[in-house]
Structure 1
């Protein structure tokens, strides 16, 4: 039974992961990411960017925005699957157009055994190489378009909550004063957005709150649907409720499965150590399962289970030991 529950929970977690990736592509979310962190969007309003993503076309009937195949498979160099890959043409004040290629990645684990930025360098290289034959060739490398990888870390450490880093190429004069054209070397950037899943939505971020708070709320299951609806209303989201509701429902399914799993484990241990001790271990196991599966805090898990003061004390003492 425990194995069946584990498989079922894993399937639901995979479904939540897919829903998160779908949420990234909603115009109201993706538009905010582009407006907030893509430098080439400075001449375009958020409302205009959202319209471009929704399918606005130019006078020739070409779309400004295109979601791309999220898999790039280069012969003899391996296969990469992106979370959300797209390109967009951004109008400029000088009446020119700048096309950028953008990959948005959700990274739940800060330290997966390597630096995400090194993985990002591989992604950027593939995004540039995949333009060969379309945007540029050996006769005109200047046709190469700028690429971005934006990392969203919705479960970063609390001390990094709200931090954003930009990593790009810089010109350094080693000797002399010759300046290279910016557009010749400014071809790739990575953005790291650190968010903490226990962020208090009453505590507004000092900058870019209009995108950081929605991201941390929609990409975590720390808050229930009612709170997420309040955020949607406060920040002006209209078309995202369906996916957010699905995520919350899947989270509840995982919670119920873990309650059953925790009950089963608690009974087995209780036979050996006595009913009282078994119930204590059952609660602790259940709390641990919920924290892992629902990506929520210990306090949130205890609130959901409506533990008494004494039960909370037992759990808190266990996690302190």
Structure 2
């Protein structure tokens, strides 16, 4: 039996179960030059929310009544392609289907001994996003102070650890006491702030960073980011990775005008998507692998079981129900 998950409706506000549709589809066969792939792990990520809308963005929107897609780990179960054999594991951006075929283009073999799901997280786009954004925009120096929002999430938890490796003081912002405790105990953050129980974020950040903030890795936007930016030092650098606080907004939010703060402190604020640095991916994966093998990087995963749970796991991202990378195991 083969199944697919289609986009049934374009969400208004938060995605709902009714925005997805499960469909039984034909089982494909690998033709000449093709491989048959069995999905084993599926990555769900906040950026997919943008692709569910038809607004212009940096990636095309999903088509209605067509399968959604994301980064996937798959097993080659049959091969008519000389570059792959049955039993190989590969990763690529693939459709939300139990089985599908590929001509091999875009497939990258992965090493199961490392842990397959790691290639959707610390050794995949998640780890590369953390490394590239911090390295290329944050440009950390020893002794500087780095603040990370969404710090207990997939990208944020890795950003903070890389910051520590590179000699920074690291402050994380997350949404529960359990998550802030995890930031310090498992990921080595120096300070952690629970934004949900903090009445004045600007004061809390000032207390945690008495020498000011040099680098801000922004995963959330909104009021939290305003509070961080008000504490930035001269020559501060802000890497904008995500704005999850507004992904489900139905109208534009109003907030402080940040230009005066950026101007008077000669700050840099730059948005990025990881593909901007595609030519640096091989060296990036090597660096992340070296740190992982040396025990310098820890990675947290929230693994949900079952193909039918993919939509719910995705929706749970917007409720903060994940610690680290959210992955669905098939």
Relative to its length, the structure with more strand (as a share) is: 2
Relative to its length, the structure with more helix (as a share) is: 1
TM-score, length-normalised on structure 1? Answer: 0.26
TM-score, length-normalised on structure 2? Answer: 0.25
Q: Specify which structure has the bigger relative contact order, considering alpha-carbon pairs within 8 angstroms and separated by 6 or more residues.
A: 2
